[in-house]
Structure 1
Amino acid sequence: MTIDEACVECIINQSVKVAKALHADESLSNELISTVTKMSRSFSYSDTPPEIASYVYEKMALIAHKTDLYDEVKELSTKKALSFVPLLEKELSNSKDKLLTATKIAVAGNVIDLAAEVEFDLEEELEKIFYTEFAHNDFAFFEKKLQSAKSVLVVGDNVGEHIFDYMFIQTLKELYPHAKYSYMVRGNPIINDVTLKEAKEAGFEKICEVVDSGVNTPGFTYNRANSYAKELFDTADLVISKGMGNYECMSPSHRRDICFLLKIKCSVVAASLQKEVGDIVCKVV
């Protein structure tokens, strides 16, 4: 997916969000916003939104003299997600369809997105997710793919959401123990996306292989990935892509057997999927 006019406005608005997250004074706030606004005039419409974001966030990090612009917010997101784990574990243990329940949990976590056009409340989403149908529903096809897959790559998205991804992978391992599982993260801090640091802190290495993709975009941009990440992406029997950024980067992709799991949080992605903002999606291509 390449950017359109709506993406430009959204990316400019992200500079406002960064200023708030940094508790920036008026001078720094003005510099961040004016710089991104100026950059927006020369955005390439052949780039994906995550590729544009990589340039913008690199520049904002330089201006703010801060490597991880959202480090404090990410810590809070992780703590909030962890507070729901006991409730979700109970939901899983009582479930008659553990795969569907775990998949819904993984999708619910996708609301933790600091770059989205529309924001949703995590607690509210968790209360209704189990009663919400997928607007695009390839779940039966997804389940069939899992039954035969010998290698499964989960491409992570946001911090906080990764806690629910952990539960998701645990359930996949319980239901389909014959497969090898890998969890792919970003190569460096970008927005609130999960990196090796947060994955290790959450203990992912205890349950699966953890892979640093090497990408500096808030989505898996194949041509920016390191050689091992490319090989893993190409050879996995099934790729599970979490969130909008990954969808934007992998639509289209050179490979098949990708399952996109996401909550639609912007009009551009909604139009691409021919669904509505707020819908949840399980799409296999």
Structure 2
Amino acid sequence: MKISYECGPCFLRQAREAMDLSTDDEALKMEIMSEIFKFLSQNFKNGTNSNSTGSLMHNMIKEKTGCMDPYYREKIEGNQIALKYLPEVKKILAEDDSLENYVKIAIIGNILDFGAFTLDDDIESVIKSSLKKDLTRKDIAEFEDALNKYDNVLYLVDNTGEIVFDKLLLSKIKEYGVNITIAVKSEPILNDACMPEALEAGLDEYGELVEIGCGTVGYVDSQISDEFREIFNSHKFIISKGMGNYEGLTEIDLSDKDIFFLLCAKCNTISRDIGVNLHDMLLFKK
């Protein structure tokens, strides 16, 4: 997906947060912000890919501050919030164990995104209200057809915290006899899940964990490893979690694949691109 004018202030907001989490050196933050202004002045234009731009900016901050995982504490917090609501979520699933409900819970987990929300947002209240909402777009029938049709699926996870709820959907998918390959980031970026967080959450109980070969905002096709490209190309059925993966995957030809996007539309640019309202929860086939 290409950037819109609204991505500009979002990049700067993310840059400020990442720097505040990485260092207390005010002079260094001034130096880095100056470089980010220069970088954006050269790269922020029509046709620019949002994922690549954000990834380069965050990696610039990591390199300059020496802090390779700025959102370390936020990732822990994300898991804690998800675990806090897990009993309530399991109660909901006990009352209605439909595939649609499992999908809905997994999408609610996508709300735990410090790339889209500010650190001061009341994420817990958003989760509470989302539990009462229905999916705006729900290609459930097509999704279940794919689960019955294919022997293998590639599941692209998104955020730490969110993966606690992903685990529930993965358990439901296993009931269809599908072999699951679960893809995580190779290096920290924002609060995205890497191998340690995936193992801690127990995702390996439901499928084979693999790394995509890079630490990018969402999926950036030019940055994935050769090993992961083989895995990606070999799968005809893909489940993509989150906005970042949507932004990246819609940049490449997926005509030979059945791919389903599960996400909460947390920004206006994404909402407009898909044709939905802000905060809508979606399962749709692209």
TM-score, structure 2 length as denominator? 0.91
Q: Where does residue 138 of structure 2 map in the other structure? A: 137
Q: Could you say what the CA RMSD is over the residues aligned between the two structures, in angstroms?
A: 2.0
Aligned residues of 2:81 and 2:124 also touching (Cα < 8 A):
no
Partner secondary structure for residue 37 of structure 1: helix
Alpha carbons of 1:229 and 1:96: their partners in 2 closer, same or farther (altered >3 Å)? same
Partner secondary structure for residue 135 of structure 2: coil
Residues 151-160 or 222-231, more deviating: 222-231
Q: Where does residue 75 of structure 1 map in the other structure? A: 76
Partner Cα separation in structure 2 for residue 274 and residue 244 of structure 1: 14
Q: Where does residue 50 of structure 1 map in the other structure? A: 51
Q: Where does residue 250 of structure 1 map in the other structure? A: 249
Aligned residues of 2:153 and 2:236 also touching (Cα < 8 A):
yes
Partner Cα separation in structure 2 for residue 142 and residue 66 of structure 1: 40
Task: Give the CA deviation at 1:257.
Answer: 0.8
Partner secondary structure for residue 193 of structure 2: coil
Aligned residues of 2:108 and 2:131 also touching (Cα < 8 A):
no
Partner Cα separation in structure 2 for residue 102 and residue 11 of structure 1: 32
Aligned residues of 2:19 and 2:61 also touching (Cα < 8 A):
no
Task: Give the CA deviation at 1:16.
Answer: 1.5
Task: Give the CA deviation at 1:239.
Answer: 0.5
Task: Give the CA deviation at 1:88.
Answer: 1.4
Task: Give the CA deviation at 1:253.
Answer: 3.1
Q: Where does residue 190 of structure 1 map in the other structure? A: 189
The letter for the 2-side match of 1:250 is L
Partner secondary structure for residue 194 of structure 1: coil
- Structure 1 residue runs of 5 or longer lacking an equivalent are none
The letter for the 2-side match of 1:5 is Y
Residues 124-133 or 35-44, more deviating: 124-133
Task: Give the CA deviation at 1:90.
Answer: 1.9
Q: Where does residue 217 of structure 2 map in the other structure? A: 218
- Structure 2 residue runs of 5 or longer lacking an equivalent are none
Partner Cα separation in structure 2 for residue 122 and residue 172 of structure 1: 27
Aligned residues of 2:18 and 2:58 also touching (Cα < 8 A):
no
1:17-32 aligned within 5 A: 17-22=17-22, 24-32=24-32
Give the length in aligned residue pairs.
282
Q: Where does residue 158 of structure 1 map in the other structure? A: 159
Q: Where does residue 282 of structure 1 map in the other structure? A: 283
Task: Give the CA deviation at 1:5.
Answer: 2.2
The letter for the 1-side match of 2:156 is V
Identity percentage of aligned residues: 28
